[in-house]
Amino acid sequence: MLFLRPLLIISILLLSACADVFDDINPSGSDERGDYNSSTVGYHPGETAPDFAVFDTLNNPFLMSAELVGSDAIVVYFTMWCPICDSHMSHMRTNIIPNYPNVKFYFIDYVSGVVSVARSSQLDSGYGASNVLVDDLNHTVTNLYSATMGSTIVIDSNTILQMNEDYKDGRKLQTVLDALP
C-alpha cells in the first residue's frame, strides 16, 4: 500500500506528458488520412493500385489489370481462414456480392503461400465455389497493399484504389461500391 500513492503520482505525471495521445481517446469518426492522387502508385485510396500477378487455388494465373477489363471494380479480401475471416466472408457472400454483378470479388489466402495448401484450406472452410487467390511465400500482394487479416481493397475500372481498410461490418464496402464511377 505504501507504494500505491507514489505509483499513482508517477502515472499521472507520465500521462500528462503525452498530450498527443489524447487525440486517440475521443476519435472523430472521420477519415483523417491525407489526400492521395492517381499520379502515384501505392496502397492509399486515391492512388493508382499496383498491378499484381498471382495464381488462384485452381493454379490459374491471375493478373489484376486483366481482371478489371469489362468490370466496374474488383474487391480483394485478405483471409487467413480464421473464424473472424469466415464471418466477414460469409457476410460478403450473402449480403454484398449478389448486389454488385459487375464487380469481381476475390478472397486472397495470404498465409498459405502454396496453391495446394490454400486449396485445401478453401475446401475445408466451405469456400470451394469462391474465387480464391494465393499470395506467394514472400507475401508480395500483402506487402504491396500493406494488408493484413480482414483488409479489404477495392480497385475501380481505372485502376484507382477506392478502399483499403478492415472489413468491419461491410457498410464502408457497400458505400464505396455504390459510389463507383
**Any idea what the CATH number is for the domain that residue 94 is in?**
3.40.30.10
Cell triple for residue 10?
508517477
Residue 137 inside a domain? The answer is yes
Residue 158 inside a domain? The answer is yes
130-173, pLDDT tens digit by residue?
999 999 999 999 999 999 999 999 999 999 999 999 999 999 99
Count other C-beta atoms under 10 Å from residue 102's C-beta: 11
Give the neighbor-by-neighbor strand order of the sheet with 161-166: 61-63, 53-56, 132-134, 103-109, 73-79, 151-156, 161-166
- Which carries the bigger pLDDT value, residue 72 or residue 7? 72
Residue 36 has pLDDT above 90, yes or no: no
Domain count of the chain? 1
Q: Say if residues 75 and 170 touch (Cβ distance below 8 Å).
A: no
111-137, pLDDT tens digit by residue?
999 999 999 999 999 999 999 999 999
- Can you tell me the distance from the alpha carbon of 92 to that of 105, in angstroms, rounded to the nearest whole number? 9
Residue 48 inside a domain? The answer is no
- Can you tell me the distance from the alpha carbon of 71 to that of 82, in angstroms, rounded to the nearest whole number? 29
Residue 134 inside a domain? The answer is yes
Percent of the chain with pLDDT over 70: 86
For residue 9, name the pLDDT band (cuts at 50, 70, 90): confident
Containing structural domain, residue 130: 60-164
